[in-house]
């Protein structure tokens, strides 16, 4: 549509958010601005998606020299992996602006800034630019959680702050190390991600940098045992913030691993893949089992979300194209299922003034449309074939079996663990007998029904006809994995050489 579509997607929301904050605009204006800007971003996002060609390279690239003497540039682009997070962010955010209205001006402004910064983080092709957007993206979350959160918002904010700041520091140190390493190997400064992948990194310091990166992203995803900020933050944050955190921001952690850690630290990644995949699969099981004991519906979804993120991360660690493609597919599937479930939990909370599972019951009799929507999102979340959740989950399990049959079997238990807590919750919230509280439950209004309809349809369309999405992901996944394959070939070649060398030694004797 325009030459600078990506820049527009980034800076339109950020600028609007800042203007709202700095001018004495009222709540009404803020909301209208939010709707308008997010709609514009939606149109731009769909435009990018339809014009995107199924090849692996970066597209819609933009390049403006920024600090050329130290190799830092304003450079953007999307590939098949970032495309889906960009799409999720632009498709889902209008929902939030349209449906959740009772908050203050600053809330809308912060949401807009988050939206722009998230787009920036996934489009950045320069690692410094990525870091800047990453930090901008986190700030509004602190405000939204700390200002507009629930009862224990201060504790939750403190927790998420400590974790994220620690992660950011480690990442910054690792980025600086990468720049220095590039300078020493190639004699010039450059922070373009595509250039950094050419680095030949080995040795203890490189591994430390790898660990730094991984911890930063493991906190964001979150991977076990870095998940403890999540239940508190997701539970205490206002609905829209939880939605943004779970549906999109957590995915940026996975994206960063795919885009930066896999190609740049290929050797270390291959070496640590088993450990990382164990962490993913154990986190899935641990959080899934923890979910069954929760009696707050939102907190249950928080654990459920963490459980799914373990599986999504696992797909990346399987180091094969099925697993990686499955992960990227699951990123958007999870956004439309668990993400939307958080919105539904918000609707229940708005209407019932409680999130306690045992206080609810029989909602299905009074709100059949809501129950239907909820059930479809729930079934996608447990990976039922015919919904978007199945494709990704199946590909990840398939990839995990290839990676290690043992991990594959453990990963498969997600099929069982998911239904246990979900069905039991659905039973106690939607079925059984209604009570004097739930008889007053009003079904979705026409507006709500229409707003959620595209998402619910997307769940089914992505389950029945995923190929148009998959064909955009796969080439990019192949490119990311090509680095790993090279590494493994080199390792094999090295060991062959070593053997030859050994033979030579024997001959010499």
Interface residue list for another protein (CB under 8 A): 158-159, 162-163, 225, 227-229, 231, 286, 289-294, 320-322, 325-326, 362, 364, 368-369, 372, 379, 384-386, 390-391, 394-395, 397-398, 401-402, 405, 408-409, 412-413, 415-416, 419-420, 423-424, 427, 430-433, 464-467, 470-471, 474
Q: How far is the CB of 150 from another protein (least distance, A)?
A: 18
Q: Which is nearer to another protein, 142 or 394 (CB)?
A: 394
Residue 158: CB minimum distance to another protein, A: 8
Contacts (Cβ under 8 Å, ≥6 apart) of 416: none
Distance of closest approach, residue 273 Cβ to another protein, in angstroms? 17
User: Cβ distance 17 to 97 under 8 Å?
Assistant: no
CB of 336 to another protein, least distance (A): 17
Residue closer to another protein by CB (options 39, 454) is: 454
Rg, Å, the chain Cα set:
23
Smallest gap from Cβ 332 to another protein, in A, equals 14
Q: Which CB, 238 or 408, lies closer to another protein?
A: 408
Q: For residues 385 and 303, is the Cβ–Cβ distance under 8 A?
A: no
The whole-angstrom separation of Cα 194 and Cα 98 is 39
Contacts of 276 (CB under 8 A, 6+ apart): 214, 223, 313, 317
Name the residue nearer to another protein (CB basis): 56 or 466: 466
Largest pairwise CA distance in the chain: 92
Minimum separation from the CB atom of position 456 to another protein (A): 12
β-bridge partners, 192 = 126
Between 139 and 292, CB nearer to another protein: 292
**Contact (Cβ atoms closer than 8 angstroms) between residue 140 and residue 107:** no
Closest to another protein by CB, 32 vs 461, is: 461
Q: Residue 440: how many CB atoms within 10 A of its CB?
A: 10
- First-to-last alpha carbon distance for the chain, in angstroms, is 72
72 - beta bridge partners? 67
Locate 322 and state its tokens: 């099925």
* CB of 368 or CB of 502, closer to another protein: 368
Distance from C-alpha of 376 to C-alpha of 366, rounded to nearest angstrom: 17
Structure tokens at 7: 């820049």
Among residues 222, 229, 244, the alpha carbon closest in space to that of 114 is found at 244
Which of 27, 428 has the CB closer to another protein?
428
For the residues of 228-277, what is the DSSP string, one character each?
THHHHHHHHS-HHHHHHIIIIIHHHHHHHIIIIIHHHTHHHHHHHHHHHH
We find the least distance from the C-beta atom of residue 63 to another protein, in angstroms, to be 32
Q: d(Cα 262, Cα 328) in Å, to the nearest integer?
A: 14
Q: Which is nearer to another protein, 227 or 298 (CB)?
A: 227
Nearer to another protein, 3 or 151 (CB): 151
Tokens representing residue 23 in the block: 């001018």
Q: How far is the CB of 204 from another protein (least distance, A)?
A: 24
Q: How far is the CB of 182 from another protein (least distance, A)?
A: 32
Going by C-alpha positions, the residue among 16, 244, 5, 217 that lies closest to residue 137 is 244
Tokens encoding 414? 């997600």
Residue 245: CB minimum distance to another protein, A = 18
Distance CA 327, CA 314 (A): 8
Q: Find the shortest distance in angstroms from Cβ 271 to another protein.
A: 23
**Shorter beta-carbon distance to another protein: residue 244 or 410:** 410
């Amino acid at each position: 549509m325009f030459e600078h579509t990506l820049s527009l997607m980034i800076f339109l929301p950020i600028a609007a958010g800042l203007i709202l904050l700095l001018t004495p605009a009222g709540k009404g204006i803020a909301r209208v601005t939010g709707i308008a800007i997010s709609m514009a971003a939606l149109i731009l996002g769909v435009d990018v998606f339809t014009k995107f060609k199924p090849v692996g390279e970066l597209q819609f690239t933009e390049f403006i020299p920024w600090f050329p003497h130290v190799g830092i540039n304003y450079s953007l682009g999307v590939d098949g992996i970032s495309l889906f997070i960009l799409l999720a962010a632009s498709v889902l955010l209008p929902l939030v602006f349209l449906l959740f209205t009772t908050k203050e001006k600053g809330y809308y402004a912060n949401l807009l800034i988050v939206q722009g910064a998230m787009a920036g983080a996934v489009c950045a092709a320069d690692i410094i630019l990525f870091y800047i957007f990453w930090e901008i993206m986190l700030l509004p979350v602190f405000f939204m959680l700390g200002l507009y959160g629930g009862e224990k918002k201060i504790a939750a904010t403190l927790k998420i702050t400590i974790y994220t700041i620690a992660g950011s520091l480690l990442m910054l140190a690792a980025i600086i190390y990468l720049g220095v390493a590039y300078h020493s190997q190639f004699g010039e400064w450059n922070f373009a991600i595509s250039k950094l992948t050419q680095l030949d990194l080995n040795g203890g310091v490189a591994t430390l940098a790898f660990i730094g990166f991984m911890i930063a992203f493991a906190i964001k995803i979150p991977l076990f045992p870095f998940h403890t900020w999540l239940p508190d933050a997701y539970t205490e944050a206002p609905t829209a913030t939880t939605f943004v955190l779970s549906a999109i921001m957590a995915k940026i952690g996975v994206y960063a691993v795919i885009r930066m850690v896999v190609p740049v630290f290929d050797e270390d990644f291959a070496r640590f893949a088993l450990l990382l995949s164990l962490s993913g699969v154990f986190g899935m099981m641990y959080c899934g089992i923890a979910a069954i004991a929760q009696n707050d519906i939102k907190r249950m979804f928080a654990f459920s979300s963490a459980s799914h993120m373990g599986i999504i991360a696992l797909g990346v660690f399987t180091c094969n194209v099925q697993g990686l493609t499955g992960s990227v597919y699951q990123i958007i599937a999870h956004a439309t299922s668990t993400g939307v479930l958080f919105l539904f939990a918000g609707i229940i909370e708005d209407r019932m003034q409680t999130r306690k599972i045992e206080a609810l019951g029989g909602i299905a009799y009074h709100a059949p449309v809501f129950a239907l929507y909820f059930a479809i999102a729930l079934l996608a979340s447990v990976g039922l074939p015919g919904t978007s959740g199945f494709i990704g989950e199946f590909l990840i399990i398939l990839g995990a079996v290839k990676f290690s049959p043992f991990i594959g079997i453990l990963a498969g238990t997600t099929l069982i663990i998911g239904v246990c807590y979900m069905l039991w919750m659905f039973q106690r919230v939607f079925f059984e007998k209604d009570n004097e509280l739930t008889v007053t439950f009003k079904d979705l209004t026409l507006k709500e029904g229409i707003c959620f309809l595209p998402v619910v349809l997307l769940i089914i369309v992505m389950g029945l006809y995923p190929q148009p999405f998959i064909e955009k992901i796969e080439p990019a996944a192949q490119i990311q994995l090509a680095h790993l394959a090279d590494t493994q070939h080199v390792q094999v070649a090295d060991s062959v050489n070593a053997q030859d060398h050994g033979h030579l030694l024997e001959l010499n004797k």
